Structure 1
Amino acid sequence: MKQPFRIRWRWGLIGLTLLVFWVLVGLMPAPASAQVESRLSQLEFQLRQVRSQVSQIEARLSQPSLARPAAPRPATPTGEIPADPSLGEQFDNLATLTIELRQQIRTLEERVTQLEQQRSR
């Protein structure tokens, strides 16, 4: 049984309208993309800060010790002044801090990579 021309025309118009709507919705940027871009910018900024801090620490380590006045050390409850940590202890502390900073940098770089991949999709 054939449908009258007007009914087919209406269904065609409805289909065309839905198709145009679907295309327009597909072309609109997702609201989350602005949030992703904002977060990506924040992470890039944080990564630059961490890299700057690492560079500063590396620069300090590479320079010979300059004569700096020592900060006064607080006395213990018994009135004793605590002994300075040995050079080995200072090196261990610095090595631990450097490792932690590098781990934070790797984590931030992974997050930036993930966000860039999401952004490019």
Structure 2
Amino acid sequence: MEVFIYQIVIAALIIISGYSGKKAKVITTIIIALFTITHIFMPWLMILQFITIAISFSVASYIANKKDEQKKLKMLNSSVNSINEPMGLMGIFGILFLLFAIIAMLYSFASFLGYVTGWFDVDDWF
């Protein structure tokens, strides 16, 4: 059951990043794919996770394309430039997710370094 909840969270992260734009979607997908490659060692689980990533990436691409079409239509219909709009809630989620992903990757790297070299014990951090 935990595996499927994890897949739902991964899909949600990629789809939510699709609301922030194409660049955020690609960065989020790359980070999750790197996490999958470095942290999952069971072949069936890796296949399941990459299928989840591919499906959610396509859904996020569809959302980003629709959002771009709406932006273009809005730009044509009004004289206000869309660049001057505030970042919005989804942009904030994208930034928070990026910060979380960076912290998680640093923690993973420190865990790996501690495991390989035996310099320190990461289990005592939390």
Give TM-score scaled by structure 1 length: 0.32
Greater RCO structure (CA 8 Å; 6+ sep): 1
Query: Larger helix proportion, structure 1 or 2?
Result: 2
Say which one has the larger Rg. 1
